[in-house]
Amino acid sequence: MKTILITGGAGFIGSHVVRLFVNKYPDYRIINLDALTYAGNLANLKDIEDRPNYEFVKADICDFDTVYRLMQDKNVDGIVHLAAESHVDRSIKDPFTFARTNVLGTLSLLQAARLYWESLPERYEGKRFYHISTDEVYGALELTCPEGVEPPFRTAASSGEHHLAYGTEFFLETTKYNPHSPYSASKASSDHFVRAFHDTYGMPTIVTNCSNNYGPYQFPEKLIPLFINNIRHRKALPVYGKGENVRDWLYVEDHARAIDLIFHKGTIADTYNIGGFNEWKNIDLIRVLINTVDRLLGRKEGEDLNLITFVTDRAGHDLRYAIDSRKLQRELGWEPSLQFEEGIEKTVRWYLEHQDWLDQVTSGDYQHYYERMYIDRG
């Protein structure tokens, strides 16, 4: 039985990856390692918490001794590393926490894995350290349209299809790193450590950089769940600047599928970009959210557009991110399964049908789920 350690598995993306691995690989033992900080919520995994091939361990990835013992005690064969501080606004206010978790936490995992795997007779054979990063390490792209063409315009995407884009440049796996926020700087540093452990020690590593994710179980400090909840309660929708910033959006379950594929079939020491070929200006995305929420709540479509409130722009706010994921599609056959309009409809419906989950998170009650779960089990 293979033992796979997934860090940050109680978070947004991590919970989808844990669920996928637990359901798809009954012959694997899946260990979910999470410190249960504010963004970790075990209620995200309520449907699989009693599965025989699933185990939760509450620990901090920065605690090297605990992580090293866990590697030894559980005979860990592979690591899918998602645990990270990820909110840019929080990184601006508290960069030290981001450096600690994202840089030193990753280094702790790398060193624990190296020491354990190198102690085995087979050493690195059959082992893998998969590090999930972000497109923000690349910096920002300009709105560079062909002469005489106004954005958005149609450009080539996956499988010969076309999508709307706001520029002619895209982030490639070879794009030079140029982080602009404490968050992206911390992720860039962790990426470098992962690659250095391959080059120095021969550790079998893989790095992926993904665009913005959306979907169920996302902590409602992020734009889409925050605004769905605010529209529901008719609260103000604070939009940075004029809402002109462009992001590439990917449905979270498509990201989980990509992680599964890359973990099992990706090339060691390689990098893969994961994106949705799905660019939206923030203000246009917010209007779609308002119209969708209003319609599904039985309100007049667009009734709550007046909730949009423009606020002072974020410091160092990158203008545009856009991932080119054609390498992943070409080499491993992955591509997004949902069109954005379909994904947004599905996402809004989920949050409106799980208002108890939203209410527990926004009230803070979710933080007691871990204690209640183990009290119930005696």
Query: How far, in Å, CA of 12 to CA of 163, rounded?
Result: 27
Complete DSSP assignment for 162-202: EEEES-S--B-TTPPP---SHHHHHHHHHHHHHHHHHHHH-
Sheet strands (E) in the chain? 2-7, 28-34, 54-58, 78-81, 128-134, 153-156, 162-165, 205-210, 212-214, 237-240, 246-251, 271-274, 279-281, 308-311
135 in active site? yes
Query: How far, in Å, CA of 103 to CA of 99, rounded?
Result: 5
Query: How far, in Å, CA of 134 to CA of 138, rounded?
Result: 8
| Helices and strands of the chain, counted as H and E runs | 13, 14
Answer whether 179's CB lies under 8 Å from 187's CB.
yes
Question: For 153, which DSSP code?
Answer: E
Q: Which of 60, 136, 191, 335 is catalytic?
A: 136
128-134 vs 205-210, strand pairing mode: parallel
Q: What residues are paired with 81 via a beta bridge?
A: 7, 131
Where would I find the H helices in 154-307? 182-201, 223-233, 252-265, 282-296
130 in active site? no
Q: Which of 183, 251, 351, 366 is catalytic?
A: 183
Q: Which of 135, 248, 318, 324 is catalytic?
A: 135
Answer whether 62's CB lies under 8 Å from 37's CB.
no
183 in active site? yes
Q: Active-site residues: which are they?
A: 135-136, 183
